[in-house]
Amino acid sequence: MVEKNKKLKVVFSGGGTLGSVTPLISVYDAIKEKYPNTEFFWVGTKNGPEKVLIEDKGIRFLVFFSGKLRRYVSLYNIIDLFKIIIGFFESLIFLKKEKPDLCISAGGFVSVPLHWATRFIKIPTWIHQQDVRVGLSNKLMSSFATVITTALEQNSNYFPIEKTVYLGNPVRQDILDVDKQKAIELFGISRKKPIVLVTGGGTGSENVNRLVADSVEYLKDTCDIIHLSGKDRSHELLNKIALDNDHYKTFSFLQDEMKHAYAVADLVISRGGFGTLTELSILKKPAIIIPIPGHQEENVAFLAKSGAVILVDQSTCTGQKLASIVKDILGDKESMQNMSEKLSKLIRVSKKQDILNIFEKIIIK
């Protein structure tokens, strides 16, 4: 049994996008609530969207060198290899100095040098696999991991059975604790029409932004739109559209307000990151998913096949076609209800006590 007042040190890592960040925030919240004296660190990326969220939590944010190993021949592989080596030694120095009790990651190449370094000073690690396709970073870290958890039961087969646990996906509980009326007032929405929330992820998406921009005119009599366009994207055109259309509001990025945007949304249009899909699942929101080609398509495929989400291909979709899909969904309340119910059953949300059980089991060892 771990004493509640014991001073522990935990290092999280991940970033570049919010995909590897949001489930770990839930893990952080669970540990912080039960073990308030724990000291936390976060190793992230220099320019990723995660820094604002992490520092807002009061977690010390660190940036080490890291690099991406591509599965094809590229000069950048050589350059990034040197970055990984530098990051490894930075991590080694940090770990020897701070002597953390545990390092936790949900993937991302920023985590690889750190987790490799733990092996040399015998610090336990926990990695979490979200996506349908096992990422290369988690493959590289799995052999050193003390515990591996998975969001999907099928992915347990890709890792050593003796240290793998089917956990489901952690979700921030604060997204459930929202005053809907306050959320409506926050965005200045009348509620005379359904509300569609559009998000292209933490960094945004030019493809999603283009589709939404082209669909606004077609949806003026159908719905109000809250569009999160991404802080790294161009906003000039979107801001002009917002000035000319009362039913369209655009924001580059939302922090705490994101839970309010979810609360007022009748329909969500998003990318196919597993963290976002899990949030939609627990909130029971009908969704149109426009996945990034690659692993996100695999995340969405089994959900679309079961009728839990509507899958849209960004390469063939137009603004007019997207508007038509939105109109069809909003016009069929029964279909919206069925979609949200199916999604909530297909994606398992991890329980706080299960997260704590794994944490305590590692710490006791």
- pLDDT for 73 equals 63
Please tell me which residue, 68 or 7, carries the higher pLDDT value.
7
Q: What is the mean pLDDT of the chain?
A: 93
299-312 average pLDDT score: 96
Give the rounded percent of residues in the chain with a pLDDT score beyond 90: 79
Per-residue pLDDT band at 188 (split at 50, 70, 90)? confident
| Same fold for the pair 9-170+350-364 and 174-346 | yes
More confident position, 184 or 220: 220
Which positions make up the binding site?
172, 296
Query: What does DSSP say about strands 310-311 and 102-105: parallel, antiparallel, or unpaired?
Result: unpaired
Token digits of residue 314: 């960004």
Residue 113 sits at φ, ψ, to 5 deg, of -60, -40
The SS3 assignment for 150 reads strand
Q: With contact defined as beta carbons under 8 Å apart, do 155 and 132 qualify? A: yes
- Cα(263)–Cα(256) distance, integer angstroms: 12
The per-residue pLDDT for 234 is 74
pLDDT category, 78, cuts 50, 70, 90? confident
On the question of pLDDT at 351 being above 90, the answer is yes
Q: What is the mean pLDDT of residues 319-338?
A: 97
Gyration radius (Cα) of the chain, Å: 21
Rounded Cα gap, residues 60 and 40, in angstroms: 7
When pLDDT is averaged across residues 301-309 and rounded to a whole number, the result is 96
Structure tokens at 128: 């979490």
Check residue 254 and give its pLDDT: 87
Angstrom distance (rounded) from CA 111 to CA 273: 18
pLDDT at 226 over 80: yes
Share of the chain above pLDDT 70, in %: 98
CB 177 within 8 A of CB 205: no
Q: Match domain 174-346 to its CATH number in 3.60.60.10, 3.60.150.10, 1.10.510.10, 3.40.50.2000.
A: 3.40.50.2000
Confidence class for position 325, pLDDT limits 50, 70, 90: very high
- What secondary structure does DSSP assign to 22-81, as a single string? HHHHHHHHHHHHH-TT-EEEEEE-SSSTHHHHHHHTT-EEEE-------SS--HHHHHHH
Residue range 161-184: mean pLDDT, rounded: 92
Q: Is 271 a residue whose pLDDT tops 70?
A: yes
- Lowest average pLDDT, out of 145-149, 227-231, 342-346, goes to 227-231
Measured distance CA(215)–CA(72) in Å, rounded: 37
232-260 mean pLDDT: 89
- CA–chain centroid gap for 344, Å, is 17
Comparing 23-27, 76-80, 124-128, which segment has the lowest mean pLDDT?
A: 76-80
What is the tens place of the pLDDT at every residue in 14-72?
A: 998 888 999 999 999 999 999 999 999 999 999 888 999 999 999 999 999 988 766 66
User: What are the binding residues for UDP-N-acetyl-alpha-D-glucosamine?
Assistant: 172, 296
Mean pLDDT calculated for residue range 285-311: 96
| pLDDT in the model for residue 218 | 98
Q: What is the mean pLDDT of residues 147-168?
A: 96
> CB-based contacts of 292: which residues, under 8 Å, 6+ apart?
205, 271, 272
Q: Which fold has domain 9-170+350-364?
A: Rossmann fold (3.40.50)
What pLDDT is stored for residue 1 in this prediction?
66
Q: Domain spans of the chain?
A: 9-170+350-364, 174-346
Its pTM stands at: 0.92
Residue 4 has pLDDT above 80, yes or no: no
Q: What DSSP state is assigned to residue 149?
A: E
